[in-house]
Amino acid sequence: HPRVNIHSPGPGVGGHCLAIDPYFIYAKAPETAKIIKLARDTNNSMPGFVIENTGKILSKLDKDAEKISVFGVAYKGNTDDARESPAFEIITGLKAAGYEIAIHDPHFDNPDYLDFDEATKDSSLVLILTDHDQFKDLDYESLSKNMKKGIIFDTKNIIKEVPDDITLINYGNLYKYNK
């Protein structure tokens, strides 16, 4: 599909099609659609993977790692469409683990969502869950001033380079950080 790059990593699959429609195919032909079921199982496991690894990252910090800034709740970038978005399962899981969550998504007009500075104030980690263009080049000076620790966990692999005082973790280097 020209608007969606489904070959990119991410925190899971959302939307009204990819999150649901494969089950119809699998239900009609389970023996020939095994790979479709495996793909859905893998995508369904991604929110848990993000929750688990966010906890591992934060466990390496001081005991005061309490606040996570979640950047993006839409299931795809540059939209305000949150249907079946994996962000909500991730947010729920992180709250259940005892973390304070501050949500920032510039594409939503929601009184519970915060602006950039409010969301990152005293945060231990920025967790990028949506590939909005605004998140590809963040205000790193403000991040450094606002956050307790300058750590970004980029589940969409959209950030290419950060200043030396910011730690960038993505699926490509996660295993190194969690050793």
With respect to residue 4, please indicate whether it lies within any of the assigned structural domains: no
> Does the pLDDT at position 93 exceed 60?
yes
Can you tell me the distance from the alpha carbon of 54 to that of 94, in angstroms, rounded to the nearest whole number?
8
With respect to residue 39, please indicate whether it lies within any of the assigned structural domains: no
- Structure confidence at residue 3 as a pLDDT band (50, 70, 90): low
Can you tell me the distance from the alpha carbon of 34 to that of 138, in angstroms, rounded to the nearest whole number?
41
With respect to residue 119, please indicate whether it lies within any of the assigned structural domains: yes
- Structure confidence at residue 18 as a pLDDT band (50, 70, 90): low
Contacts of 63 (CB under 8 A, 6+ apart): none
Instruction: Give 167-170's long-range contacts (Cβ < 8 A, gap of 24+).
Output: 169/57, 170/9
Of the listed ranges 25-29, 83-87, 92-96, 118-122, the least confidently predicted one is 25-29
State the chain's mean pLDDT as an integer: 90
120 contacts 146 by C-beta, under 8 angstroms: yes
The Cβ-side half-sphere exposure at 151, using a 13 Å CA radius, reads 23
> Does the pLDDT at position 48 exceed 60?
yes
| Residue, of 95 and 24, whose pLDDT is higher | 95
With respect to residue 142, please indicate whether it lies within any of the assigned structural domains: yes
Q: In which element (H, E) is residue 101 found?
A: strand 100-104
Report the 10 Å Cβ neighbour count for 10: 23
With respect to residue 160, please indicate whether it lies within any of the assigned structural domains: yes
Report the 10 Å Cβ neighbour count for 164: 6
Structural domains of the chain, count:
1
- Structure confidence at residue 167 as a pLDDT band (50, 70, 90): very high
Average pLDDT over residues 40-61: 92
Which residue, among 18, 60, 64, has the nearest Cα to 42 in the 3D structure? 18
Average pLDDT over residues 38-55: 93
With respect to residue 83, please indicate whether it lies within any of the assigned structural domains: yes
State the residue range of the domain holding 148. 46-177
Q: Please give the pLDDT value at position 2.
A: 58
With respect to residue 29, please indicate whether it lies within any of the assigned structural domains: no
With respect to residue 167, please indicate whether it lies within any of the assigned structural domains: yes
Q: Percent of the chain, pLDDT > 90? A: 66
CATH number for the domain including 144? 3.40.50.720
